Amino acid sequence: MGARAMGRLLVAAGAAAGLLGAPFRGTAEDKPNLTGHWQFVKARSDDAAAKIEEAAGPKDIAGAGGREVTLIRGTRPRGEVERVEMRERMLGVARDAEKLEITQSADKIEIVHGEEGVRIFYFGRKHAREAANGQKLQAEARWDGTQLVLDETGDDGFRVAEVYSLLPGAREMTLALRWESKWIKKPLELRRFYEKVEGDAAR
């Protein structure tokens, strides 16, 4: 992702936070603490299925002459299987991210959700990790003011940037996500809203 695209994502994250309340304000030494269990709030978030359809196209694979063909490599136009697989992966990530468990320390962020299991991001350095589908990724974390930015990159133009913004009171959080890949029609940009939960609701 270029600097211009990242800038747009940060602006979008700020705008989302602005619609829901002013973002957390703190000093460079007083970063917001995102540690806790977070529940996705559908009514206040983008429609993930519609956004993914717009970015990645339909679930069917178009064959020669406009016919629909089965998901078998070598029997479809180049990139169609990859596009549909990426689409399903995006839908899966959106489903799995309905509950997040975040643990934050001075040197790293750990996020637990769905099939991805534990994702670990270190501040100030990249490290290699493997996604649930076996893809090799380079991951890193950084602060942009009081916004937490998580960045993952892989082959075929794959890049996912997540910008987390904590709202006043530290009980609400927004996530602005941008997903890029050579296999989809255009980058996916998605805004999601979360509320902090405790006790039985966190399970």
Residue ranges per domain, the chain?
A: 3-43+97-202
- Say yes or no to pLDDT of 51 above 60: yes
Q: Lay out the sheet containing 136-144: strands in order across.
A: 117-122, 108-113, 99-104, 36-40, 188-197, 172-180, 159-166, 147-153, 136-144, 127-130
The answer to whether 109 and 103 have CB atoms below 8 angstroms apart is: yes
C-alpha 38/C-alpha 45 separation (Å) is 14
Q: Which of 150, 152, 148 is nearest to 132 (CA)?
A: 152
Two tokens at 55?
A: 């970015």
Fold type of domain 3-43+97-202? Lipocalin (2.40.128)
C-alpha 56/C-alpha 201 separation (Å) is 33
pLDDT tens digits along 62-115: 653 444 444 444 455 568 889 999 999 999 999 999 999 999 999 999 999 876
Which ranges in the chain belong to alpha helices (H)?
A: 3-20, 48-56, 80-96
Model confidence band, residue 45 (pLDDT cutoffs 50, 70, 90): very high
Q: pTM of the prediction? A: 0.79
Mean pLDDT score, 11-37: 60
C-alpha 42/C-alpha 48 separation (Å) is 9
pLDDT tens digits along 187-201: 999 999 999 999 766
pLDDT tens digits along 128-185: 988 878 889 999 999 999 999 999 999 989 999 999 999 999 999 999 999 999 999 9
